[in-house]
Amino acid sequence: MLGKRICIKVNNVQVNEGCALCGGPVEPLIPIWVFLENYLPVCRKCAKKHAEVLLVALDNFYKDNLAEKLFKKMATQYG
């Protein structure tokens, strides 16, 4: 997969496409997920294989409920 960079991108939709690399099932989480640069979603398996550090970052993000904290903070600020 030369030339196909994997990156963490902001995600705000549920997509039903398969993984861009292996075609397997992938359910991108909101608000961030791993994608190719052209915004095609990548499954956990491929992310681990090709960009493990990003998957670790993603898991830490969701593990610590940072998304929820962020939403709560936004709600207090603007709500």
Chain positions contacting Zn ion, by CB under 5 A: 19, 21-22, 24, 43, 46
6 with 13: CB under 8 angstroms? no
Task: Tell which residue, 49, 37, 50, has the closest CA to residue 8.
Answer: 37
- As measured in angstroms, the least distance from the Cβ of 49 to Zn ion is 8
- As measured in angstroms, the least distance from the Cβ of 63 to Zn ion is 21
- As measured in angstroms, the least distance from the Cβ of 21 to Zn ion is 5
CA torsion sign, 65 to 69 to 71 to 72?
Answer: positive
